[in-house]
Amino acid sequence: MAIRNIRLIGDSILTKRSKEITEVTPKLRTLIEDMLDTMYDANGVGLAAPQIGILKRLVVIDTSPEGDSPIVLINPVVLETDGEQTGEEGCLSVPGKSGVVTRPNYAKVKAYNENMEEIIVEGTELLARALCHEIDHLDGVLYVEKVIGDLHSTEENND
């Protein structure tokens, strides 16, 4: 399909609430494929539609080590969270930076898949973090608003 341009911090679209999706159209299916291609191309584990300039409640996530188990979530809603994890987090819209963020260690999300069938996704650790991070994007919230302390360059972490 196509690699889309990722919007960067400072772009006003990243601070807006996304609109619900009412039906799956051929255009939406193309958008889902483009989002997956864009996420994989950027070596990300998640991407929300606002990050490519589309104010729709759509996210794609793949936390599998092989990058072969994508999750498509349309109109996701967090039903339940539990526990706590604090760790490094980054974002494709904030390149070259990371920060420490506390998120739930477990998340249960209700959404629709690409066929508008209701699904429940439950995850712990990285998947729970990704679910919460990407759903925040749909409400115009960037992880930098939740960072404990300061952001730091990701290059510093490689030493």
Q: Which of 66, 114, 125, 134 is catalytic?
A: 134
- Hey, how many other C-beta atoms are within 10 angstroms of the C-beta on 80? 12
Q: Is the CA virtual torsion 28, 33, 38, 43 positive or negative?
A: positive
Backbone angles phi, psi at 104, to 5 degrees: -65, 150
Is-catalytic flag, 134?
yes
Q: Nearest-CA neighbor of 74 among 57, 88, 61?
A: 57
Closest CA to 40 of 75, 101, 92: 92
**Distance between CA 100 and CA 106 in Å, rounded?**
18
30: which residues sit within 8 A by CB, 6+ positions away?
Answer: 1
- The residues that are catalytic are 134
